[in-house]
Amino acid sequence: MNKKNHEIPEWAFEFHGHRCPAMPLGYLAGMYAMQLLGVEKEKDTNTFVFSETGDEHHQGCFDDGVQIATGCTYGKGNYKRLQYGKIAIVLYKPGKGAVRVKPKPEILDSCSTFEFFKYRKSGIPASQVPREVADEVIGYVLSKDFEELFTYEFVKNFEFSPEKKTMLRIKCDDCGEPTYENYIKIFNGKKLCPRCYEIERGRRK
Ligand SMILES: [Zn+2]
Ligand SMILES: [Zn+2]
């Protein structure tokens, strides 16, 4: 068994739902990016992660690990998937700068040689892979130093201005459901939620 350089909190696996190597890899990428930028885990929404993963490939589990580590989350709106189909993140905090962290290709390749992926390729979901098989590849990831796992670069002149968020809800004139004002659409003088707007527009045709 390899020495362990890092610990992943057990609640991270509970939140994620199963034991796989991509979530811990994301967790460590997030920790490393925070260390490089000199920032703490984000409690609110003043730090941002731009993840280069996409919706249509495996290893999106990486994003859960990054969110757990950085506190930049999909729900708070400071976590964006760029749909590039790559495993890399940019961590950005205004005033602190931006850093891009990516796993080394050889790390991704050597993870793929573990038995865990034989199970996955034969269609077995990660939660059904025997614990010791999953923990073998997770142990491999955790045995490596940040420098062995990742490369990084500081991104110069990185700029991003978040959307202004609203607290004001308006009742849709059709369904009566409260809808945030910036999502309301006007149709025939009515204020509509996007769903009722689509229905009304369909009737018109
Ligand atoms: Zn996973
Ligand atoms: Zn409506």
Determine the average pLDDT of the residues in 55-59.
88
- pLDDT in the model for residue 1: 47
Residue 17 has phi, psi (to 5 degrees) of: 105, -25
- pLDDT in the model for residue 124: 97
Q: Near ion ligand 2, which residues have CB within 5 Å?
A: 172, 174-175, 193, 196
Ligand (nearest to CA of 179): 2
Ligand (nearest to CA of 22): 1
Per-residue pLDDT reduced to its tens digit, 98-122: 999 999 999 999 999 999 999 999 9
CATH topology of domain 169-204: Wheat Germ Agglutinin (Isolectin 2); domain 1 (3.30.60)
Average pLDDT of the chain, as a whole number: 95
In 10 A of CB 124, how many CB atoms?
Answer: 14
Compute the CA torsion angle 106, 41, 58, 158 (nearest 10 deg).
-70
In 10 A of CB 55, how many CB atoms?
Answer: 8
SS3 assignment, position 158: coil
Structure tokens of 199?
């229905």
User: How deeply is 158 buried, as exposed, middle or buried, from its count of CB atoms within 10 A (0-12, 13-18, 19+)?
Assistant: middle
The CATH class that applies to domain 10-155 reads alpha beta
| 185 Cα–ligand 2 center, Å | 10
SS3 assignment, position 105: helix
Q: Near ion ligand 1, which residues have CB within 5 Å?
A: 20, 23, 61
Domain with CATH 3.30.1330.20 in the chain: 10-155
pLDDT of 204 > 80? The answer is no
Contact predicate 141/111, CB 8 Å: yes
- pLDDT in the model for residue 119: 97
- pLDDT in the model for residue 161: 87
| C-alpha span between 128 and 18 (Å, rounded) | 9
